[in-house]
Amino acid sequence: MDAVGVMPAVASLVDGDETMAALLSRCAGRDRRALRQLYDAMSPVMLGVAMRMLRSRSLAEEAVQDAFVQVWDRAGQFDPSLGSPRAWLLGILRYRALDRLDAEARHRRLDGVELDEAAQGGLLPPVAPDVSEDSVGVRRCLGELADGPQRSILLAYVEGCSHGEIAERLGEPLGTVKSWILRGLQSLKRCLER
Amino acid sequence: MSDKDLTEREQQAAEYVLGTLRGPARRQFEAELAGDAALRRSVAAWEEHLAGLADTVEPMPPSESIWQGIETRLDAAGSPAADVRTIQPDGRGALGRLWDSLGFWRLTTGLATAGALALAVVVARPPPPPPPTLIAVLSGEKAPAFAVRFAASGPNVTPVGRPEVAGDRDLELWVVAEGSNPVSIGLIGEGGVTPLNLDGAAASLVKPGVLLAVSLEPAGGSPTRQPTGPILYTGTLVEVR
């Protein structure tokens, strides 16, 4: 299975910032094949992220579609001096997934149901991925945070949880969670910029 | 407030990127973003700061229908379409290498679609000799349900019976190698052939004689990265020459 074994290394070649920036600029020039190449490089991780946030394959697939339609429309606005293509694409994906979570939250309020069954019923673990062993960038810095802020930030970013949902999942007061997140973000920034 | 504290604006930008700015506040923020370059810089910086957290998430192989949906929407929006199949590959250099690696990646993951894209890659760089093909037929109590195939064209799973799944559940496929915990190699889509996502760790477990199992999981797959529901189907990998 050698051919399969080398896959991650090959995929990371495709992820190169310069290459992806070049593809985005070709998208701005309406080259749809460039969009397809970006899609091939980024859709597995984007679908993975959307699945974690939305917990539904069909909603996640729609969010990925929303994201790539928007990438096509806004490719000309990508500015490589502000950040990497990967971060820009992940941002767009997550905002479109959050649109869907916001829409779902509106429905739930209309239905008079506070939280969906999955969030209440223990289907979703309150445990975030273990980051303590991590040595790179934000994950290293996150590992330096206290448990509460660390878990809150991961639940927000990875699981798409709102303040209220995080408070519920961790069994902590809303105000505590809000201040954990603010303090946590502040510490992250300090750590990343030092 | 020390100079290391976040300004209120930067707090908003950070929470917008993190995802805790929600509802009307988020929509308001997005509206302001359009006309505020400093705010856009702040958002981009936070996107960069936090993007590494996405690496904690397992990538998932997309089904080809997602791309088709994107194309349909772009066509409907009247975007001038460059036809994927008729554009020639770029010259060598960085993009040429991308072309090779991308094509190779598509070939090995089974995501390749028919057409010039894949063909061009074959011309540019002949693929390595194919590894042996491994297959397993996964059966439940009654009858075979799925065929799983690891071949040079990429791993995939095909329904062979009429396996039924409750609407809000997913079937998840696992490699169960002796001496290690089951490793998920993907969710099985509804109908048709589902391509599988094998990372290095899972790929190294795929050998003749290894057990594959399908468990019933919450929609989206096991939240714990280990099987949580009943094992419905199992089968052993054999090599096919």
Give the pLDDT score at B61.
94
H or E segment to which residue B185 belongs = strand B183-188
Taking CA A142 as the corner, what is the angle to CA A156 and CA B57, rounded to the nearest 5 degrees?
55
**What is the full DSSP assignment across chain A?**
-HHHHTHHHHHHHHT-HHHHHHHHHHHHTT-HHHHHHHHHHHHHHHHHHHHHHH--HHHHHHHHHHHHHHHHHHGGG--TTT--HHHHHHHHHHHHHHHHHHHHHHHHHHHT-SS-HHHHTT-S-SPPPP-TT--SHHHHHHHTS-HHHHHHHHHHHHH---HHHHHHHHT--HHHHHHHHHHHHHHHHHHHH-
Residue bearing the bigger pLDDT, B232 or B51: B51
Give the pLDDT score at A145.
94
- Closest-CA distance, A125 to chain B, in angstroms, reads 7
Q: Which two tokens stand for residue B182?
A: 């089951």
pLDDT, one tens digit per residue, over A149-177 is 999 999 999 999 999 999 999 999 999 99
Band of residue A178 on the pLDDT scale cut at 50, 70, 90: very high
Cβ within 8 Å of B, A 102-141: 102, 105-106, 118, 123-125, 129, 131, 136-139
Chain A residues closer than 8 Å to B52 by CB:
136-139
Q: Across residues B65-77, what is the average pLDDT? A: 93
Residue bearing the bigger pLDDT, A182 or B228: A182
The span from the CA of B101 to the CA of B125, in Å, is 10
Per-residue pLDDT for A123 more than 70? Answer: no
Give the pLDDT score at B94.
43
- Closest-CA distance, B126 to chain A, in angstroms, reads 13
Does residue B9 sit at the A interface (CB-CB below 8 Å)?
Answer: no
Give the pLDDT score at A112.
46
B229 HSE (CA, 13 A, CB side): 22
Q: Which two tokens stand for residue B34?
A: 């359009």
- Closest-CA distance, A172 to chain B, in angstroms, reads 16
Any idea which of A149-153, B43-47, B193-197 has the lowest mean pLDDT?
B193-197
Band of residue B76 on the pLDDT scale cut at 50, 70, 90: confident
Q: Across residues B36-46, what is the average pLDDT? A: 94
Per-residue pLDDT for A118 more than 90? Answer: no
Task: Name the residue among A44, A163, A185 with its Cβ closest to that of B6.
Answer: A185
Give the pLDDT score at A97.
96
φ, ψ (nearest 5 deg) of residue B84: -55, -35
Per-residue pLDDT for A115 more than 50? Answer: no
The percent of residues above 90 in pLDDT, for chain B, comes to 24
H or E segment to which residue B65 belongs = helix B64-76
Is B60–A51 a contact, with Cβ atoms under 8 angstroms apart?
yes
Q: Across residues A84-97, what is the average pLDDT? A: 96
Give the pLDDT score at A111.
52
pLDDT, one tens digit per residue, over B102-131 is 444 444 444 444 444 444 444 455 445 556
- Closest-CA distance, B96 to chain A, in angstroms, reads 10
> Is B33 exposed, middle or buried (CB count within 10 Å of its CB: 0-12, 13-18, 19+)?
middle
Mean pLDDT of chain A, nearest integer: 83
Band of residue A127 on the pLDDT scale cut at 50, 70, 90: very low
The span from the CA of A73 to the CA of B196, in Å, is 30
Give the pLDDT score at A164.
94
Q: Across residues B93-106, what is the average pLDDT? A: 42
Residue B194 pairs in a beta bridge with: B157
Give the pLDDT score at A110.
54
Per-residue pLDDT for B230 more than 70? Answer: yes
| Alpha helices in B77-147, H assignment, sequence order | 94-109, 116-124
Any idea which of A35-39, B66-70, B188-192 has the lowest mean pLDDT?
B188-192
The span from the CA of B101 to the CA of B92, in Å, is 12
* DSSP-based three-state secondary structure for B119: helix
Q: How far is CA B203 from the centre of its chain?
A: 15
H or E segment to which residue B205 belongs = helix B200-205
Band of residue B132 on the pLDDT scale cut at 50, 70, 90: confident
- pTM for this structure? 0.58
- Closest-CA distance, A52 to chain B, in angstroms, reads 8
Residues 6+ apart with CB under 8 A from B154: B107, B108, B109, B110, B111, B112, B195, B196
Do A1 and B206 touch, CB atoms closer than 8 A?
yes
Is B57–A7 a contact, with Cβ atoms under 8 angstroms apart?
no
Any idea which of A46-50, B31-35, B190-194 has the lowest mean pLDDT?
B190-194
Band of residue B190 on the pLDDT scale cut at 50, 70, 90: confident
Band of residue B4 on the pLDDT scale cut at 50, 70, 90: low
Q: Searching chain B, which residue's CA lies closest to the CA of residue A63?
A: B66
Q: Across residues B157-163, what is the average pLDDT? A: 76
φ, ψ (nearest 5 deg) of residue B238: -125, 155
Band of residue B148 on the pLDDT scale cut at 50, 70, 90: confident
The span from the CA of B59 to the CA of B54, in Å, is 9
List the single best residue of A157, A161, A168 to mutate versus B (max B Cβ within 10 A).
Answer: A157
- Chain position carrying tokens 């194919």: B130
Mean pLDDT of chain B, nearest integer: 75
Q: How many CB atoms lie within 10 A of CB A47?
A: 25
Max avg pLDDT among A149-163, B64-78, B199-213: A149-163
Does residue A158 sit at the B interface (CB-CB below 8 Å)?
Answer: yes
Residues 6+ apart with CB under 8 A from A5: B200, B203, B204
H or E segment to which residue B76 belongs = helix B64-76
Give the pLDDT score at B119.
45
Residue bearing the bigger pLDDT, B163 or B4: B163
Q: Which two tokens stand for residue B235?
A: 């089968």
